[in-house]
Chains A and B, each alone.
Chain A
Amino acid sequence: MSENLLEVSGLEKHFPITKGLFRRQVGAVRAVDGIDLQVRSGETLGLVGESGCGKSTTGRLFTRILEPTAGKIVFDGKDISHKSFSQMRPLRRDVQMIFQDPYSSLNPRHTVGSIIAAPLQIQSIPTPQGLKKAVQELLELVGLNPEHYNRYPHEFSGGQRQRIGIARALALRPKMIVADEPVSALDVSIQAQVVNLLDDLQREFDLTYVFIAHDLSVVRHISDRVAVMYLGKVVEIAERDELYKNPRHPYTVALMSAVPVPDPARRDRAQRERVLLTGDVPSPINPPSGCRFRTRCWKAQDICATEEPPLVTRLEDPESHQTACHFPIVEDEQVVGRRPASTPA
């Protein structure tokens, strides 16, 4: 097993909510509420979950764009949990981020050349053949015309803009790239191009990826390991094939069964087998006691409300497969597709 490039333990990020005349804190959005994860060198870790599960916040904590409320972030053997902005600067070379929206993450007033050159200049990286040549090489690397270095972001299509974002992230030859929904704003055919590009770059530069997405199929395609998040916690984590073949957590099962299958012949079966979750994700301000998924779980019992299930490996699973559930799905369990009640709770 390869060594861990990034390790987090007990990671929490709470955003305070203030109220009243004196803006006293009345609560907190517990966006990330105690997660332990390791990212192995050279792997792609997929973080998947629905909106509000804390996956984006987790990504921002990994890159230390946000400072954790509690817990520890160790990158490449160094504790970076509470490093200041300037202390982080040398480390920014090693960790880069790609964002979802290729429209708003590029400054419209800067040329593509200066956008990609900026990290090189800020970090004072020597460019033997000149900055322009370095930028052009990067453009070529991500499949853009190197002659276009002096064009502006609006002159590019969405997919090309995402490539610019990737080139910018690659400029410093980082060890790790955290990609937050990098393809969800793109058209299907363009999505695949960008996914393939990320694949190629990983091979070429030995990159470690944390790939954050809500699309389970894309996550499955690109990841080596996948962590499923729900309300600020990791509820299940495993090697990719293991997770998709033997999901243990009822939420993972529900999530997977909800993905529409592009095969009309399987339509009826898919619908029959689908676990329809009722209601909405509870508020992260006031998450349910015990297991957070229990309010929407068809297997929930009394213990789920009182005791929080730890993230552990079950006897019959490989060691890398961990589930946080009191009543995990067992082999060949008939998951009864539940139709939603007329008024979801």
Chain B
Amino acid sequence: MVAYLIRRLINAVVTLLVVTLVTFGVFFLVPKATGSDPALLYIGKQADPVAVEGIRTKLGLNDPIIVQYWKFLKGIVAGRDYANGPDITHCSAPCLGYTFKTNQEVWPILIHALPVTVSLAIGAAIIWVLMGVIFGVISALRRGSIWDRSVMTIALAGVSLPIYFTGLLALTIFVYGLEWLPNADYTPFFDNPVKWFTGLLMPWVTLAFLFAATYARLTRANMLETLGEDYIRTARAKGLKERTVIGKHGLRSGLTPLVTVFGLDLGALLGGAILTEAVFNLRGLGYWALNGIRTNDLPTILGVTLFAAFFIVIMNLIVDLLYGVIDPRVRLG
């Protein structure tokens, strides 16, 4: 088990390294190939060549790409100094560089945006898992019934409708039409939990709707498969109550495959729910990602990408370890 854990950890670190390499490559080589100069993006188009060269030296853009990458990695781990002669700017670890437009450190911006995204993702995740599993299980148990057919139809709609449609629809109905809910807004949990909750409710439900639909379909399929297993028949043959058969023997294995999907979905969402955050104007990682793309701000995009990759890799690791806990065949095999 320990060897397994270490192997998985090494695996995760290597994956992250590869991600940094690829993203770094894409973001710093592509501008070169297309002829746009990162230094110019920083300083503005009308800058005089001396200033541009100064920036270039300071950012290390004249170094070989390997050296640049190394410095970038070092910046994340240990911090780095941007120096052009006596002009030294220290960027403490973890350093993701400075935004082109506002010349702010990227890391604090993202860290500041993180709670918004985390609140959004976790809240929505709780809703979609509960809804998805409950509806999926009931559908599986009443397969072919009116309930099953309706739920699956709604689920199909949920999977198919894009979030900017359902989100705007929800806004129009519940905020502007019925005025049941305040407009979506982020209030830190510790400032005012009630406002935190009401402000995020709509984005949660909208986001959860999409995922709950997928999860309901997935749960139904998994449960149907599990309920056909021999050990479910054995459980019934032992005289267990149907509630125990489904609730203990069925759910335990029927929901296991969901763990994988859930880990990946949550990991991806923690990297920024771009559409949802845009629709509800929440300033999470997705907002900054979009902002970065709009303004051609490479350090921000790179930062968000690394965040997203980090979460996906971490969630993947957690899923793998959880499997060891859930399934003794993985643990002991």
A contact set with B: CB distance below 8 Å:
19-21
Min C-beta distance of B332 to chain A, whole Å:
13
- The yes or no answer to B237 lying at the interface (CB within 8 A) is no
Distance A138 CA – B7 CA, assembled complex (angstroms): 52
Does B50 have its Cβ within 8 Å of any Cβ on chain A?
no
Contacts of B6 in A (CB 8 A): 21
Residue B3 at the A interface, CB < 8 A?
yes
CA distance A92 to B70 in the complex (A): 54
Q: Chain B: residues with CB nearer than 8 A to chain A?
A: 3, 6-7
- Whole-angstrom distance between the alpha carbons of A19 and B7 in the complex? 11
How long is the Cα–Cα vector from A110 to B7 in the complex, in angstroms?
Answer: 40
Nearest-Cβ distance from residue A27 to partner chain B, whole angstroms: 16
Looking at chain B's contact residues, the main secondary structure is helix
Tell me the minimal C-beta distance from B7 to chain A in angstroms.
Answer: 6
5 contacts between A and B (CB under 8 A): A19-B3, A20-B3, A21-B3, A21-B6, A21-B7
Minimum distance in angstroms from A14 CB to a CB of chain B = 20
Hey, which chain A residues are within 8 Å of B3, CB to CB?
19-21
Q: Which residue of B lies closest to A21 (CB)?
A: B3
Give Cα A203–Cα B2 distance, bound, in whole angstroms.
59
Docked complex Cα distance between A21 and B7 (Å)? 6
B61–chain A nearest beta-carbon distance, Å: 40
CA distance A274 to B3 in the complex (A): 47
The residue in chain A whose Cβ has the minimal distance to the Cβ of B5 is A21
**Docked complex Cα distance between A57 and B6 (Å):** 34
Distance (Å) between the CB of B333 and the closest chain A CB? 12
A21–B6 Cα distance when bound, in Å, is 7
Closest approach, in angstroms, between the C-beta of B331 and any C-beta of chain A? 15
Nearest 5 CB-CB pairs, A to B?
A20-B3, A21-B3, A21-B6, A21-B7, A19-B3
Kindly report which residue of chain A lies nearest to residue B6, judged by CB atoms.
A21
Q: Which residue of B lies closest to A20 (CB)?
A: B3
Q: Smallest CB-CB separation from B10: which chain A residue?
A: A21
State the CA gap A154–B101 with chains docked (Å): 63
Taking the closest CB of chain A, its distance from the CB of B193, in whole angstroms, is 45
Question: Smallest Cβ distance from B11 to chain A, in angstroms?
Answer: 11
- Bound: A21/B3 CA distance, A: 5
CA distance A19 to B6 in the complex (A): 13
Question: Which residues of A are found within 8 Å of B7, using beta-carbon distances?
Answer: 21
A20 surroundings in chain B (CB, below 8 A): 3
Taking the closest CB of chain B, its distance from the CB of A227, in whole angstroms, is 33
Q: Measured between alpha carbons, how far is A85 from B7 in the docked complex, in Å?
A: 33
- Give the shortest distance, in Å, between A22 (CB) and chain B (any CB): 9
- How close is A29's CB to chain B, nearest CB, in angstroms? 14
Which residues from chain B contact A21 at a C-beta distance below 8 Å?
Answer: 3, 6-7
CA distance A248 to B6 in the complex (A): 53
- Complex: how many Å from CA A117 to CA B76? 60
What's the nearest-Cβ distance from chain B to residue A24, in Å?
11
A20→B2 CA distance, assembly (Å): 9
* Distance to closest chain B CB from A63 (angstroms): 29
CA distance A20 to B3 in the complex (A): 5
Residue numbers in B under 8 Å from A19 (CB-CB) = 3
Q: What residue in chain B is nearest A19 (Cβ atoms)?
A: B3
Cα distance, A20 to B7, chains bound together (Å): 9
Distance (Å) between the CB of A25 and the closest chain B CB?
14
CB distance from A292 to the nearest CB of B (A): 26
A216 to chain B, nearest CB (A): 28
Bound-complex Cα distance A178 to B3 (A): 41
- Taking the closest CB of chain B, its distance from the CB of A127, in whole angstroms, is 43
A87 to chain B, nearest CB (A): 36
Docked CA distance A20–B6 (Å): 10
Bound CA span A325–B3, Å? 43
Cα distance A21–B10 in the bound complex, in angstroms: 10
For the complex, give the distance between the alpha carbons of A324 and B91 in Å: 77
